[in-house]
Each structure stands twice: as C-alpha cells, then as structure tokens.
Amino acid sequence: MTISRPAFLAALAPALVLALPLSVQAQDTIVSHGLSPFGDLKYPADFPYFDYVNPDAPQGGTMTFRGTLASNTFDSLNMFILKGEPAQGLERLHDSLMVQSWDEPASFYALVAESVEYPDDRSWATFNMRPEARFSDGEPIEASDVVFSLEMFKTQAEPYYRILFEDIESAEALDAHTVKFTFAEGAATRDLPALAAELPILAEHYYADVPFDESTLDAPVTSGRFRVERVSPGRTITYCKDPDYWGADLPVTIGKDNFDCYTYEYFADRTAQFEAFKAGEYLLQEEFTSAIWATSYDFPAIDNGWVKMETIPDGRSSGAQGFYMNLRREKFQDARVREAIGMMFNFEWTNKTLFYGLYNRSDSFWENSDLQAEGLPEGDELAVLEEFRDQLPETIFTEPAVTPAVFSGEGKLDRSAIRAASALLDEAGWTVGPDGIRVNEAGERLQVEFISDSASLERIILPFIENMKRVGIDAIYARVDPAQEVERQQNFDFDIMMARVVLPLRPSIELRTLFGSRGAEQPGTLNLAGVSDPVVDALIEQIIAAGDLPSMTARVKALDRVLRAKHIWVPNWYKGTHWMAYWDVFGMPDEKPEYDRGVNYWWWDQDKYEALKAAGALR
C-alpha cells in the first residue's frame, strides 16, 4: 500500500522565504509572488512559465491511467474525510492560493492569490486574491471561502488534516479578495504561510446545502480547472477541463494539464489491468512490480514500437517503504522483539530470486536523499543529539546509524540471523515452549499477523513468515480485501502491514502526523507504527523551527537516526527511478522536472495516434 497525499499536499511541508530585495523589508513586511523555505525563489515575479513545460504544447485528447489507489475501487468524491474510498485524481478539482514548482524542493507560486504579505516573524500572512478567480458554477472565489475552508479542515476533515492545520489559529476575510491568516502564539512559523497557501479552497455556498463530512458520488462545486465529467462507481472516473477556466494563462498553469480530459480506469485484479493496458484500453502505466517489468513487457506492441518503456530518474526521497510494526500492541513494545523480526527478512535472497536484482535495500526513512543519517553522528547532528543523550541508548553515539543485516542471498535465511534473533527474543522474555512457539511468562504465545490485500506480495511475505516461524514466532498471513485493509490501516487494527510513506525533502509540520505522539493517537493519520516518544516529538519541533537549511538537515538526520534505532519497521527496497510504459501517442517537454514524473506536462500527439490507428494498434 502506497500512502500519500494529493498533489497540493505532496510536499506536505510547505515553505517560505524573503523573496524581495531589502528595500521592501523597510516596510516591516515582505510582499512576494511566492514562498520558499530557506533561500531565494528560482523564478522572479515576472516569470512567464516554469522551465520544464512546453508553453506551446498542443491542447486536446484524453490521458488514460489505471486507478492505483490501495483498494482498487472507489465510492466517494470527497477526498478529505475518512468515510468512503475516494476516487483517484480528485486533487484536480481543487485550486489553492499557491502551487508548488517541481524543479525546486519546496517553493510555491501564486495561483488564486496574486501576492502574499507577511512580517519577519511570520506570525501572520495576508494573501491578495485574484478577483477573476471563479468556482466551477461561475461564482467568484472570495476570501470568505478560504476562511470557510480552513474551518472545515480544522473541525470536520479527517484527523490528518486537523493536526496539519492546528497551528493556523484563524483566517479572516479583510475584504472580498483579501484573507489574513493568523498563526498560533508560540508556534514555529517558518512554514505556516505556505501551509495556508496550499489549503484547498472549498465553495462555502455549495456546502451550505451539502454536508462536508459525508461521502458522496455527486460532483461537487469546486475551485479547480477540472470538473467531474463521468463516474462509473468502482470502475472509471473522468475529469475534463472547463474551457472557460479563468486561470488558463497564468505562469503556473501554462504548459500544464494539456489534455482535455483525464480518465482513471479501475480493475478487479492486476492480471485484468495489465491485459487492458496491452490492448490499449488505457495508455499510460507506471509499473511498480519488478517481476512484471523484467519479464512481462514482451508483448507485440512493444516489439512493434507502439508501446515505449522508459526508466525515468526520480529526484525525490524514495519513500519510507517497509513492513511497519504496530507499537500500540503490547508484544511489540520491546525493541528487541522488533529487531528480531527485522532479521527474518532476507532482502538479498528476495532481490536475487524475486526481483531480478533490480532493487537496492532501504535503510533510511529519507532514502536516496542527503537527509539520511550515515556512520557515526558528528558535527551539527551530534550537537542536536547531545541534548537528549540521557534519554537515548548509548549506541546512538557509539555505533553507526542502524542498517539492516546483509545476508548471502544463497538461501532464504542465514543461520547467523537465526542465532542472533533467537538470542534477542530470549533476552526479551519470549522463550521457546514445548510446541516450538515462543511464550512469555504469562504463557501468551508470540503470535504475529501480517495483513495484505495484494496477491502479488504473497511471494515476498510468505518467505518472511516462514523465516519468523523458524525462530519460534507464530507468524500468520491474512489476505484481506482492499476495503478491509484500508479500514484496518486507518484504525491501526493490525500487527504488521506493508506501506510506503512518501517523505518530503523539506520536512516540517507533516512529521507530527507521521511520527509524532499526536499522530499515534488519531485514526487515519500516517503514524502507522504508533511512535509516541518525547525525544522524537522534540526533534520534530526542532525541524519545524529550523531557520536555515543546514540546521534542518542536521535535525532531520538526527530524527532519522533515532527512528532507525527504534526498529519500528523492517525496511524494504527502493530504486530511485520511475518505470514508465506508455502507448506512443504523447509529446513531452525536453526537460523533466526534478521532483515529479512530469506526466502532467505531456500532451496529445494526434499524428502519432493516427499512425497507430492506421497500423491497427489502437481503435
């Protein structure tokens, strides 16, 4: 299960910067066209468009994807609440005051807003909105709608959003097109103006008659460029552009969303989905399974050159993918138990036997980035950790950052791993009983249930389960349906589950929902392991308050080191690229944005389509 958030919250940690010359600051406030965390914005106020787009891209056609949400279905068009399974692509319906550029780690530029003003201490931020901005029903987008949106996210949205926006104390409509956000006293304010800038804007007049906290398949009135065109519940959803969209010529929208429509197709299983792609029923696929990428892309459309395969570099952190253990369960409270379980996953054998050697082993929550802890702590990172020395294990300071054991790959499990794991379990008070299963002093069996909805993951999970049994763990695998897996994940009703959490390169407030004590308490947050630790909480707050990039980097490395020492997960694997397959009917810019796949900047090439149609490749 990949757990992520919509595009407007993809970075999750919004940001800001002094973006104008010092002469402007003499007025005691900064006025800017954009926000960024630590340095100057790449693009000046008069930039015409982002460097990674084609401003002359043809418009038209339909882009078709597979629906890749966790449950492989949907029954709601409300993406902000726990009820229902939201359709993919709903972020296309919602505009915000500013949007992210994808060739900078965390910079945002004006969309519904045309400028932002804030003081040096960033205790508030005022956005001047474009009077021409309109909702899908033609009504103007006004400051009162932004005020209403914040209230909904703070009071009726799922807990993830409530925690995310809790440091925004209030929003006030100063006039029809000016909205002021005031931030909580004592809060770290570095990122709060940009967090406000990313707030999805809801239509207050629409929700006067429609409950915000209920799931629905009725197309809502929305602030974005796209409208829900067609819905077949659980099967397909199509979004089409409003031809009269007010913001089509803004610098942040030129060259983006060049298709008239975007369709997401859902399938009951992976086999049906892949056969549909081979037949051209949808046109673009990002592949996530190494065995399929290595062995199944050999159909005639590939041989004829009708379908292209590309490996695209991914400049983002690769994501914290792993088997997460639920520390809310008493049996996982002892870190020695968690470490022993981790030793039972033989990545080297898995990669060689099942993955065709296409992956690397993860060890960090910020894998494939400069934020991951390495070796012994030193310099600024060591100084950060010294504050908590009496609350941390001495190994944090005396041993390199925790990395998974490396095995030979020749067998499913090395004997050295069996010996080491058995010793840890013995020390933790779980001894082998007469039937070979470990029990504690109370006679309770060490039973561990692994849940998943994916048939394709069984080939990875079952050897892991088998290895756990070899050290006396009563490990079982429970195949659940997709909806049940989502529900159990949201309510933390699991022992171990596999998930991938995408972490930003400029982490900030979202860390509270990922690893903070508040996130451990609230259903629907992404703190899957249930981490609740005062040192982790303090490091998170230090990251949020960091005043410059070196300070933030040192604090993130310290957090990464502490989390890894807790053994809250069994880290999986990464590759640092996107595996993309697509029917050759698209044009694309010469430059891909560093921090995005770039698909939103492709366009329909009618000549290519006609050529494939004439060849009998597509209908």
Tokens found for residue 299: 């159909």
Residue among 602, 62, 607 nearest 280 (CA): 62
Where does the pLDDT of residue 71 fall: very low under 50, low under 70, confident under 90, or very high at 90 and above? Answer: low
For 464, phi then psi, to 5°, come to -60, -45
Residue among 279, 281, 242 nearest 264 (CA): 281
What is the predicted pLDDT for the residue at 486?
Answer: 86
Residues contacting residue 307 through CB under 8 Å, at least 6 positions apart:
297, 299, 301, 581, 582, 583, 584
Check pLDDT > 90 for residue 73.
Answer: no
What is the predicted pLDDT for the residue at 271?
Answer: 87
Check pLDDT > 60 for residue 160.
Answer: yes
Q: What is the mean pLDDT of the chain?
A: 92
Check pLDDT > 60 for residue 609.
Answer: yes
Check pLDDT > 50 for residue 18.
Answer: no
HEC sequence for 220-279: CCCCCCEEEEEEECCCEEEEEECCCCCCCCCCCCCCCCCCCEEEEECCCCHHHHHHHHHC
Give the DSSP H or E segment for 177: none
Q: Cβ distance 31 to 20 under 8 Å?
A: yes
Q: How many CB atoms lie within 10 A of CB 185?
A: 9
What is the predicted pLDDT for the residue at 20?
Answer: 29
Where does the pLDDT of residue 364 fall: very low under 50, low under 70, confident under 90, or very high at 90 and above? Answer: very high
How far is the first Cα of the chain from the last one, in angstroms, to the nearest whole number? 33
What is the predicted pLDDT for the residue at 24?
Answer: 32
Q: CA 544, CA 542: separation in Å to the nearest integer?
A: 5
Where does the pLDDT of residue 453 fall: very low under 50, low under 70, confident under 90, or very high at 90 and above? Answer: confident
CA distances from 492 to 15, 163, 327, 451, 610 (A): 30, 17, 10, 12, 50
Where does the pLDDT of residue 408 fall: very low under 50, low under 70, confident under 90, or very high at 90 and above? Answer: confident
What is the predicted pLDDT for the residue at 69?
Answer: 55
Q: CA 113, CA 10: separation in Å to the nearest integer?
A: 20
Give the rounded percent of residues in the chain with a pLDDT score beyond 70: 95
What is the predicted pLDDT for the residue at 19?
Answer: 32
Q: Which domains does the chain have, with CATH numbers?
A: 14-38+71-244 (3.40.190.10), 245-316+576-614 (no CATH), 320-574 (3.10.105.10)
Check pLDDT > 50 for residue 21.
Answer: no
Tell me which of 457 and 611 has the higher pLDDT.
611
Check pLDDT > 50 for residue 390.
Answer: yes
Residues contacting residue 3 through CB under 8 Å, at least 6 positions apart:
70, 489, 499, 500, 501, 502, 526, 528
According to DSSP, the β-strands at 586-587 and 573-574 are unpaired
Tell me which of 456 and 187 has the higher pLDDT.
187
Give the DSSP H or E segment for 384: helix 379-386
Mean pLDDT over 283-304 rounds to 94
What is the predicted pLDDT for the residue at 38?
Answer: 81
Mean pLDDT over 164-176 rounds to 97
Residues contacting residue 481 through CB under 8 Å, at least 6 positions apart:
453
Check pLDDT > 70 for residue 445.
Answer: yes
What's the pLDDT tens digit per position in 516-566? 999 998 898 899 999 999 999 999 999 999 999 999 999 999 999 999 999
What is the predicted pLDDT for the residue at 6?
Answer: 36
Q: Cβ distance 345 to 553 under 8 Å?
A: no
Mean pLDDT over 237-263 rounds to 97
Check pLDDT > 60 for residue 311.
Answer: yes
Q: What's the whole-model pTM score?
A: 0.86
Where does the pLDDT of residue 450 fall: very low under 50, low under 70, confident under 90, or very high at 90 and above? Answer: very high
Least trusted range by pLDDT, from 70-74, 329-333, 615-619? 70-74
Mean pLDDT over 179-193 rounds to 95
What is the predicted pLDDT for the residue at 70?
Answer: 55
* DSSP SS3 for 541: helix
What is the predicted pLDDT for the residue at 2?
Answer: 45
Tokens found for residue 560: 């990464």
What is the predicted pLDDT for the residue at 474?
Answer: 97
Residue among 90, 131, 96, 91 nearest 111 (CA): 96
Can you say whether the dihedral through the CA atoms of 509, 112, 29, 172 is positive or negative? negative
What's the pLDDT tens digit per position in 491-524? 999 999 999 988 889 999 999 999 999 999 889 8
HEC sequence for 53-112: CCCCCCCCCEEEEECCCCCCCCCECCCCCCCCCECCCHHHHCCCCEEECCCCCCCEEECC
What's the pLDDT tens digit per position in 252-274? 999 999 999 999 999 988 888 99
What's the pLDDT tens digit per position in 84-139? 999 999 999 999 999 999 999 999 999 999 999 999 899 999 999 999 999 999 99
Check pLDDT > 70 for residue 179.
Answer: yes
The DSSP-derived string for 372-407 is S--SS--HHHHHHHHTTGGGS-THHHHSPPP-PPP-
Give the rounded percent of residues in the chain with a pLDDT score beyond 90: 83
Check pLDDT > 70 for residue 12.
Answer: no
Check pLDDT > 50 for residue 381.
Answer: yes
What's the pLDDT tens digit per position in 341-350? 999 999 999 9
Check pLDDT > 80 for residue 25.
Answer: no
CA distances from 33 to 46, 106, 253 (A): 9, 14, 15
Provide the 8-state DSSP code for 518: H
Q: CA 78, CA 508: separation in Å to the nearest integer?
A: 26
Residue among 332, 310, 284, 330 nearest 567 (CA): 332
Mean pLDDT over 355-367 rounds to 95
Strand locations in 157-233, DSSP E?
Answer: 168-175, 178-183, 226-232
Q: CA 116, CA 146: separation in Å to the nearest integer?
A: 14
The owner of tokens 């106020």 is 45
Tell me which of 486 and 114 has the higher pLDDT.
114
